[in-house]
Amino acid sequence: MEEKIRKFMQENFSDGIVREDDFRGQQSFYIRKEYLLDVLKGLKEDEDLRFEFLIDICSLDWHGDSEEANGRFEVIYNLFSLKNKYRMFIKVRLEGDNPEIDTACELWMTANWLEREVWDLMGIKFTGHPNLIKIVTPDDLVGHPLRRDFPLTYEVPRFSWNKDDPPEVIL
Amino acid sequence: MSVEAKRRTMSLNLGPQHPATHGVLQVVLELDGETVVKATPQIGYLHTGIEKTAESKLYYKVIPMTDRMDYLAPMSNNLGFCLAVEKLLGIEVPEKVKYARVCLTELTRVMSHLVWVGTHALDIGAMSMLLYAFRERELIIDLYEACAGQRMMTTYFRIGGLAYDLPKDFDQKVKEILKKVPEGIKDYERLLNDNKIFRQRTIGVAKISAEDAVSCGLTGPSLRGSGVNYDVRKALPYGGYEKFGFEVPLGKNGDVYDRYLVRMEEMKQSLKIAKQALEGMPEGPHIAHVPGVVLPPKEDVLTKMESLIFHFKLITHGFDAPKGAVYQGIESPKGELGYYISSDGSNKPHRMRVRPPSFVNLSALPRMVEGGMVADVIAAIGSIDIVLGEVDR
Amino acid sequence: MGLEEKIPDGIMLTTLDKMVNWARKRSMWPLGMGLACCAIEMISTFASHYDLSRFGMEILRPSPRQADLMIVSGRVSRKMAPVLKRLYDQMPDPKWVISMGACASCGGVFNNYAIVQGVDTILPVDIYVPGCPPRPEQLIEGILKLFKKVEQESLKDKKEKQVKRLG
């Protein structure tokens, strides 16, 4: 199966592949973002491979990591083939602080909510998404919580006094 | 009536505080008379920030957080996370641990489905089901308490094994469950299967075709109710499931009733697996021997210097995981629960993504209820078996 | 001595405070609202094994307008907090609040951007029940403590507090 996918990718999208990764037996391809929809469509509709199940879309933020210089964000598409019982990953690196990527809503209905979640929590914009609005965070929350530069917690400063209102001195 | 007046629809707000939304789900329904024109689930009322919090915790400190996502099936959550970290580190666990984990997670599935059948039947109108289902659930809860000391949030699985050895009366307790729960299931089936009200409220309601179910990303019983044979335990076996014999029940019509039947059958299969696991349970250590990752035994910590150092090091610093990213999917009671853990080589996960089955299943709700009656929305919400803690995380 | 000796059998004298508190304590209707994990333990408490109807509170009211006890069972997110406050405001007086579990009481293990660090920042809490989640016995103990508290309430004080709160 691994060889088959490799061959398929090499034949059809040889320009689009950045590199192939095989960490702990998980086949994944880093591809250029322009090729994303073609790759997903190709994998989904190929008679032999039939990756018709989009399990998950998730995102990473490599902010502040000096080793990972080629693009701050990463979007990961987790595909599963019911026919072959095989799982693979398509990964895309995105540059800049306000990245954009094409939506997969036309291929899978499930992409709608998964992409909304990624937008809400990580701030990656999916162009062409029919309804890209906040999904889990409250409307008044500014920012995207899962970004590495978003603070985990904040404390409301409680000053009991200031210069106009000096502290009570008990004698 | 003018055409203009005919077209007017009414918005109905269901939730976030509603007894049948299983927590704090809000669904905004657009109604034309009693027909649902549009349904928009609004989620996030229980957003806990677990994924973000996990980034600032040592690996083993994340386990208690996973309990609190799908709080009806804590052991499944633990299992998914532990398997993912074990995959990342390349640890092999002892045979006994595999059997114990399978036994406990299958009982977790039964427990989750028991709560589901109770609340779902309650939503539809059978009040007494809840009381019966919780009666049987207490047995499994007791087993949890004997194992881990906690009723619900067990945190029993550790990276590399179990927190403690199985209790002495484990066999006896599981045997009691294996004896009493099937009797209970028989009762429920007698109550519901041919119940006229139940059948009328569920058959042909909230249908979803196999094609749509796959496109919507449904997993678990909600998918199998539509007749798609996808069970992670069979498709990509993990944690020793390849050794057990069981069947994957499938539905045909993809309606609420078929999903009900699939879950009832699944409970029986789970009990079958638990029985096999109990009978085949080998002797051995309850945790793998991996210095630096697994805590040394308590006696050694108190008597040996190296063990004390390891203990101190592990508690304060944790362990450094190799750089890379792993995904481990398991079949939780709700569907495919996946953990995507990306490590940057430090002692904390760089990113922990949970693939929440409830979240994805819930996204198919509009597809199921649009065009149906407003009362069927409740049956549909019940039938996809969501847990809001997992939807929002 | 006095009046008690003169009145016929079957008649008892007591203070109005005591009688009203006794009635309130014995017919408390909790709001059927579950937030998170603790809600399941709350349901367990109401279900067959622990059977809360022994204390006269078997019915969970789905509407806040009919309830007088709010059990905040689980973590309160920042998105849920306004809803919770509104539900509380919709409940008729007299009303009480039990904060169930560590998350509701102080944020629990979730010290982050999404969770309100203690429901007492938005509601007046009467009883805190510790635990993550508390056992049903603990919740029952909390409810019994609340009964004790209700018993000792004075109508006058309660009224004054109410007036003060409503401004």
CB within 8 Å: C114 and A137: yes
SS3 C64: helix
Of C41, C49, C115, the CB nearest to B49: C115
Scan residues 10-69 of B and list those with Cβ closer than 8 Å to A.
43-44, 47, 49, 51-53, 55-56
Q: Are C114 and C78 in contact (CB under 8 A)?
A: yes
Q: What is the pTM of this model?
A: 0.90
Cα A63 to Cα C11: distance, rounded to the nearest angstrom: 78
- List Cα–Cα distances, B46 to A136, B23, B36, B336, in angstroms: 8, 9, 26, 21
CB within 8 Å: B72 and C40: yes
Phi first, then psi, for residue B158 (nearest 5°) are: -120, 165
Q: Over range B344-353, report the average pLDDT.
A: 89
Cα A54 to Cα A48: distance, rounded to the nearest angstrom: 17
Look up residue B228 and give its DSSP letter.
-
Cα B189 to Cα A45: distance, rounded to the nearest angstrom: 42
Q: Compute the radius of gyration of chain B from its Cα atoms.
A: 22
Measured between CA atoms, the residue of chain B closest to residue A44 is B215
CATH fold, domain A2-137, is Beta Polymerase; domain 2 (3.30.460)
Cβ of B337 under 8 Å from any chain A Cβ?
no
For A118-128, how does the pLDDT look when each residue is reduced to its tens digit (9 = 90+)? 999 998 999 98
Same domain, yes or no: B28 and B9: yes
CB within 8 Å: B389 and C112: no
Same domain, yes or no: B36 and B91: no
The pLDDT of residue C64 is: 87
Q: Are C99 and C130 in contact (CB under 8 A)?
A: no
* pLDDT at residue A169 tops 60: no
Measured between CA atoms, the residue of chain C closest to residue A154 is C113
Cβ of B88 under 8 Å from any chain A Cβ?
yes
CB within 8 Å: B212 and A60: no
Of A68, A85, A135, the CB nearest to B43: A135
Measured between CA atoms, the residue of chain A closest to residue C117 is A155
Same domain, yes or no: B156 and B280: yes
* pLDDT at residue A166 tops 60: no
Letter string b/e over residues A64-92, b meaning 16 or more CB atoms within 10 A of that residue's CB: eeeebeebbbbbbbbbbbeebebbbbbbb
* pLDDT at residue B1 tops 50: no
Q: Are A69 and A93 in contact (CB under 8 A)?
A: no
Selected residue with higher pLDDT from C78 and A157: C78
Distance, in angstroms, between B367 CA and closest chain A CA? Answer: 10
CB within 8 Å: C36 and B23: yes
Peptide bond just before C133 cis, omega within 30 deg:
yes
Cβ of B138 under 8 Å from any chain C Cβ?
yes
The pLDDT of residue A171 is: 45
Letter string b/e over residues C51-80, b meaning 16 or more CB atoms within 10 A of that residue's CB: ebeeeebebbbeebeebbbbbbbbbbbbbb
Same domain, yes or no: B234 and B378: yes
DSSP line for A2-45: HHHHHHHHHHHHTTTEEEEE-GGG--EEEE-GGGHHHHHHHHHH
Cβ of B353 under 8 Å from any chain A Cβ?
yes
Cα A166 to Cα C64: distance, rounded to the nearest angstrom: 45
The pLDDT of residue B32 is: 87
Residue A113 belongs to what H/E stretch?
Answer: helix A111-122
Mean pLDDT is lowest, of A112-121, B19-28, C69-78, for: B19-28
Closest residue by Cα to residue B340 from B350, B330, B326: B326
The pLDDT of residue A156 is: 55
For A32-60, how does the pLDDT look when each residue is reduced to its tens digit (9 = 90+)? 888 888 888 888 888 888 888 899 998 98
Task: Quote the tokens at residue A44.
Answer: 């989904």
For B180-197, how does the pLDDT look when each residue is reduced to its tens digit (9 = 90+)? 999 999 989 998 888 888
The pLDDT of residue A68 is: 64
Same domain, yes or no: B124 and B17: no
Q: Are C87 and B44 in contact (CB under 8 A)?
A: no
Q: Which residues of C touch A152 (CB under 8 A)?
A: 111-113
Q: Which residues of A touch C78 (CB under 8 A)?
A: 138, 141
Instruction: For chain C, list residues whose CB is within 8 angstroms of any CB belonging to chain B.
Output: 32-37, 39-41, 43-44, 47-49, 60, 62, 64, 74-75, 77-80, 83, 87, 109-115, 132-133, 135
Residue B257's CB is within 10 A of a number of other CB atoms, namely 24
Q: Are A129 and A153 in contact (CB under 8 A)?
A: no
* pLDDT at residue C159 tops 80: no
For A50-109, how does the pLDDT look when each residue is reduced to its tens digit (9 = 90+)? 888 899 998 988 887 766 667 888 899 999 988 888 999 999 998 888 888 999 888 898
Distance, in angstroms, between C157 CA and closest chain A CA? Answer: 30
Q: Over range B227-242, report the average pLDDT.
A: 88
Angle between helix C37-46 and C136-151 (nearest 10): 70
pLDDT classification of B82: cutoffs 50, 70, 90 = very high
Q: What is the CATH number of the domain that holds B85?
A: 1.10.645.10
CB within 8 Å: B68 and C32: no
Cα B240 to Cα B245: distance, rounded to the nearest angstrom: 11
Q: Over range C50-58, report the average pLDDT.
A: 80
CB within 8 Å: C114 and A145: yes
* pLDDT at residue A154 tops 80: no
Cα C166 to Cα B280: distance, rounded to the nearest angstrom: 66
* pLDDT at residue B119 tops 60: yes
* pLDDT at residue C88 tops 50: yes
Distance, in angstroms, between B348 CA and closest chain A CA? Answer: 13
CB within 8 Å: B360 and A114: yes
Q: Over range B221-233, report the average pLDDT.
A: 89
Same domain, yes or no: B276 and B183: yes
- State what percent of residues in chain B have pLDDT above 90: 26
Q: Which residues of C touch B392 (CB under 8 A)?
A: 77
* pLDDT at residue B340 tops 90: yes
Cα B68 to Cα B77: distance, rounded to the nearest angstrom: 9
Closest residue by Cα to residue B216 from A118, B225, A60: B225
Chosen for mutation from C83, C109, C112, C113 (greatest number of chain A CBs closer than 10 Å) is C113
Of B87, B327, B342, the CB nearest to A60: B342
Same domain, yes or no: B129 and B220: yes
SS3 A72: coil
Question: Domains in chain B: how many in total?
Answer: 2
Closest residue by Cα to residue B386 from B371, B369, B364, B370: B364
Cβ of A142 under 8 Å from any chain C Cβ?
no
* pLDDT at residue C116 tops 70: yes
Instruction: For chain A, list residues whose CB is within 8 angstroms of any CB belonging to chain B.
Output: 23-24, 26, 52-56, 58-61, 65, 68, 76, 78, 82, 85, 87, 89, 108-110, 112-114, 117, 121, 134-138, 145-146, 148, 150, 152
Cα B287 to Cα B156: distance, rounded to the nearest angstrom: 12
- What are the residues whose beta carbons fall under 8 Å from the beta carbon of B189, sequence distance 6 or more? B264
Measured between CA atoms, the residue of chain A closest to residue C111 is A153
Find the distance separating the first CA and the last CA of chain C, reported in whole Å: 45
Mean pLDDT is lowest, of A29-33, B155-159, C12-16, for: C12-16
Residues found in chain A: 171
Cα B162 to Cα B156: distance, rounded to the nearest angstrom: 6
Closest residue by Cα to residue C37 from C102, C118, C113: C102
Q: Over range C26-42, report the average pLDDT.
A: 85
Question: Where in chain A are the domains?
Answer: 2-137
Cα B205 to Cα B256: distance, rounded to the nearest angstrom: 6
Same domain, yes or no: B143 and B18: no
Cα C161 to Cα A97: distance, rounded to the nearest angstrom: 52
Whole-number average pLDDT of chain C:
85
Q: Over range B135-162, report the average pLDDT.
A: 89
- State what percent of residues in chain C have pLDDT above 70: 97
Letter string b/e over residues B95-125, b meaning 16 or more CB atoms within 10 A of that residue's CB: bbbbbbbbbbbbbbbbbbbbbbbbbbbbbbe
Cα C112 to Cα A122: distance, rounded to the nearest angstrom: 16
Measured between CA atoms, the residue of chain B closest to residue C84 is B17
Considering only the C-alpha atoms of chain B, give the largest distance between any 2 of them, rounded to a whole number of Å.
Answer: 89
Same domain, yes or no: B16 and B143: no
Cβ of B241 under 8 Å from any chain A Cβ?
no
Of C80, C110, C113, the CB nearest to B16: C80
Distance, in angstroms, between B18 CA and closest chain C CA? Answer: 7
Q: Which residues of A touch C112 (CB under 8 A)?
A: 152-153
Cα B237 to Cα B313: distance, rounded to the nearest angstrom: 34
* pLDDT at residue C48 tops 90: no
| Domain encompassing residue B373 | 51-392
Whole-number average pLDDT of chain B:
88
CB within 8 Å: B135 and C87: no
For A13-32, how does the pLDDT look when each residue is reduced to its tens digit (9 = 90+)? 888 888 888 888 888 899 98
Chains in touch with C (3+ beta-carbon pairs under 8 Å) read: A, B
pLDDT classification of B84: cutoffs 50, 70, 90 = very high
Of A138, A150, A151, the CB nearest to C78: A138
Chosen for mutation from A19, A44, A53 (greatest number of chain B CBs closer than 10 Å) is A53
